[in-house]
Amino acid sequence: MDTQAYSKISNAALIQELYRRYRCQEEALRKRIVLLGMPGAGKGTHSAKMLARFCMCHLSTGDLLREEVRSGSEFGKKLKGIMERGELIEDEVMCNLIKQQLAKPACANGAILDGFPRTIPQAEKLDQILKQSGQSIDQAIFMNVREQVVVDRLGGRWTHLNSGRTYHYKFNPPKVHGVDDVTGEPLVQREDDKEATIRNRLNVYQNKTSPIIDYYRKKGILFEVNAERPVNDIWKDIKTIVKTK
């Protein structure tokens, strides 16, 4: 145990964290939930809340790919160009990545899939992967928002690279400007949050990703949330869906 690191954290914060872990272990839902929605709909923002509340694993394919880019690997260099243009990575690469991640012990309490699937072939492959271990997607939550709203959100987003936590300079500012609330580390802007790339990401979403909404609707597991409201209102709806449906 790193006693020195813990000594910097207040007793109240430690007790709060213990309580959080106890409560979410007790209430583990063991569900597999897909979060759907345009870039900037708030998938990452609400995944962080779900992770804290229900102790599920958070699989953000965007965060995993950005980590690979930061590693400087040859594979990461290939990904970088594609992501900066706002295009999608090949389905096969993405499906292998998600298969490896789902098998990790952290996902035994359930999983939040944020940014995957993003095409119909990915959705079909995901069903096959889960079926091999007798599982399936329990719920797909569609965070519905208009394009103009997300353009404003992405233009002002700041991200904490190590955790994927996101802030917005106006709508959801950190306690201290430019600094992550939890770790005190600096926040950065994403390379793909430039206006031209945002526009392309939105086109790609409309053409390739939006058909997934119907894919889950036909299965009877789609839940729609109006994602244009304040974060706390959206979160209340998501909690209700996840806990009761």
Residues with active-site annotation? 43, 118, 157, 190, 201
- Our CB check for Mg ion shows the closer of 44 and 110 to be 44
**Strands 57-60 and 31-36, how do they pair?**
unpaired
Q: Is 125 in the site for ligand AP5 (CB under 6 A)?
A: no
- Across 209-233, b (16+ Cβ under 10 Å) vs e yields beebbebbeeeebbbbbebeeeeee
Q: Is 113 in the site for ligand AP5 (CB under 6 A)?
A: no
- Our CB check for ligand AP5 shows the closer of 27 and 233 to be 233
**Strands 166-168 and 157-159, how do they pair?**
antiparallel
Minimum distance of ligand AP5 from residue 198's CB (angstroms): 8
3 phi and psi, to 5 degrees? -60, -40
Question: Which of 168, 223, 225, 238 touches ligand AP5 by CB under 6 A?
Answer: 168
Question: Which of 76, 138, 163, 171 touches ligand AP5 by CB under 6 A?
Answer: 171
What's the CA gap between 199 and 193, in Å, rounded? 10
Long-range contacts of 171-177 (CB under 8 A, 24+ apart): 171/231, 172/45, 172/231
217 phi and psi, to 5 degrees? -60, -45
Question: Which of 53, 61, 123, 187 touches ligand AP5 by CB under 6 A?
Answer: 61
Place of tokens 């031209």: 196
Query: Which amino acid is present at 85?
Result: R
Q: Is 174 in the site for ligand AP5 (CB under 6 A)?
A: no
Residue 48 to residues 114, 135, 150, 231: CA-CA distances in angstroms?
10, 23, 19, 12
Minimum distance of ligand AP5 from residue 130's CB (angstroms): 15
Q: Is 112 in the site for ligand AP5 (CB under 6 A)?
A: no
Minimum distance of ligand AP5 from residue 103's CB (angstroms): 17
Minimum distance of ligand AP5 from residue 159's CB (angstroms): 7
- Our CB check for ligand AP5 shows the closer of 9 and 81 to be 81
- Our CB check for ligand AP5 shows the closer of 14 and 196 to be 196
* Residue closest to ligand AP5 (Cβ): 62
In the region spanning residues 28 to 47, those forming contacts with Mg ion, defined by CB under 5 A, are 44
Place of tokens 């020195």: 4
**Strands 110-114 and 222-226, how do they pair?**
unpaired
Q: Is 29 in the site for ligand AP5 (CB under 6 A)?
A: no
Q: In 3D, which of 33, 28, 30, 210 has the Cα closest to residue 139?
A: 33
The contact set with ligand AP5 (CB under 6 A) reads 37, 39-45, 61-62, 65, 82-83, 86-89, 94, 115-116, 118, 122, 153-154, 157, 166-168, 171-172, 192, 201, 230-231, 234
The contact set with Mg ion (CB under 5 A) reads 44
